[in-house]
């Protein structure tokens, strides 16, 4: 069983890179991004909850093609908005979450649909502001903060959580929110994004939920779980 500390996480990262190749960050983030991109990221991440990437893309295209701006999305009739994003699943819930998030941003800024104010906040404070919005959990908040703002927040999706538990990075019994906190503490800041990407890749290519393929050098080093 690996004793996990920052140095061990760095070795895991390097071994995952050897197996899968480096994780590239795409797109601008932080002050290099266009105004409104953070809000777009937030809405797209809400759409992505519990659905495959392709359906997220289709729903996001449908949403941003149909409405001219964020005000129009916030003001849209509920049923119309839900129909527009139906391909993402849970259309009523996600329509409510999207409109609630837009209202929260507008009220916070006094009228602008921009998340730029989060950039000046410490990561914990920014995460708390986002997760105060009903329907925005730690994963959605961490995606926005890490992908858009480059802040040190580790986003934990189903693959990251499963592989982290099998490698013993976190306890099997930890809740998703707890896994976020534990990995935020354990993973060095500069590795939070690449390790997120690499653990997803590893979860998709080897450690699938139903039929894991345990025959690979990374698992030989780090996994001694019952599934092997």
Nearer to ligand SF4, 125 or 205 (CB): 205
DSSP the chain: ----SHHHHHHHHHHHHHHH-PPPP-S--GGGSPTTHHHHHHHHHHHTTTS-HHHHHHHHHHHHHH-SSHHHHHHS-HHHHHHHTGGGS-HHHHHHHHHHHHHHHHHHHTS----HHHHTS-HHHHHHHHHTSTT--HHHHHHIIIIIT--S-----HHHHHHHHHTTSS-TT--HHHHHHHHHHHS-GGGHHHHHHHHHHHHHHT--SSS----SHHHHHH---TT-
Q: Are 182 and 170 in contact (CB under 8 A)?
A: yes
Nearer to ligand SF4, 70 or 222 (CB): 222
The reply to whether 219 sits near ligand SF4 by the rule CB under 6 A is yes
Pairwise CA distance, residues 51 & 32, whole Å: 29
Write the interaction track for ligand SF4 spanning residues 145-164; mark x where CB under 6 A is met and - where it is not: ------------------x-
Q: Are 218 and 178 in contact (CB under 8 A)?
A: no
Angle CA 60–208–193, to nearest 5: 55
Pairwise CA distance, residues 42 & 18, whole Å: 32
The reply to whether 206 sits near ligand SF4 by the rule CB under 6 A is yes
Sole binder of ligand SF4 in the list 30, 35, 214, 221 (CB under 6 A) = 214
User: In angstroms, what is the minimal distance from the CB of 213 to ligand SF4?
Assistant: 6
Nearer to ligand SF4, 94 or 159 (CB): 159
Nearer to ligand SF4, 146 or 164 (CB): 164
Choices 8-16, 95-103, 124-132, 210-218; region in contact with ligand SF4 by CB under 6 A: 210-218
The reply to whether 207 sits near ligand SF4 by the rule CB under 6 A is yes
The reply to whether 197 sits near ligand SF4 by the rule CB under 6 A is no
The reply to whether 225 sits near ligand SF4 by the rule CB under 6 A is yes
Choices 1-9, 58-66, 108-116, 207-215; region in contact with ligand SF4 by CB under 6 A: 207-215
User: In angstroms, what is the minimal distance from the CB of 216 to ligand SF4?
Assistant: 7
Sole binder of ligand SF4 in the list 166, 180, 192, 196 (CB under 6 A) = 166
User: In angstroms, what is the minimal distance from the CB of 87 to ligand SF4?
Assistant: 31
Summarize as ranges the residues that interact with ligand SF4 (CB under 6 A): 163, 166, 206-207, 212-214, 219, 223, 225, 227-228
């Amino acid at each position: 069983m690996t004793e996990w500390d920052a140095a061990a996480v760095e070795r895991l990262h390097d071994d995952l890179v050897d197996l899968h190749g480096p994780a590239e960050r795409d797109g601008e983030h932080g002050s290099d991004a266009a105004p409104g991109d953070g809000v777009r990221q937030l809405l797209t991440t809400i759409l992505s909850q519990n659905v495959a990437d392709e359906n997220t893309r289709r729903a996001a295209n449908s949403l941003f093609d149909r409405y001219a701006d964020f005000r129009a999305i916030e003001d849209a009739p509920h049923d119309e908005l839900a129909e527009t994003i139906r391909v993402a699943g849970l259309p009523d819930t996600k329509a409510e979450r999207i409109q609630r998030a837009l209202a929260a941003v507008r009220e916070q800024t006094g009228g602008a649909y921009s998340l730029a104010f989060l950039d000046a906040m410490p990561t914990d404070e920014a995460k708390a502001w986002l997760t105060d919005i009903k329907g925005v959990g730690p994963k959605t908040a961490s995606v926005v903060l890490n992908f858009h703002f480059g802040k040190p927040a580790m986003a934990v999706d189903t693959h990251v959580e499963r592989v982290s538990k099998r490698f013993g990075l976190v306890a099997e019994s930890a809740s998703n929110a707890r896994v976020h906190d534990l990995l935020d503490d354990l993973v060095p800041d500069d590795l939070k994004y690449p390790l997120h990407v690499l653990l997803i890749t590893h979860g998709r290519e080897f450690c699938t939920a139903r039929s894991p393929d345990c025959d690979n050098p990374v698992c030989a080093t780090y996994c001694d779980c019952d599934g092997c």
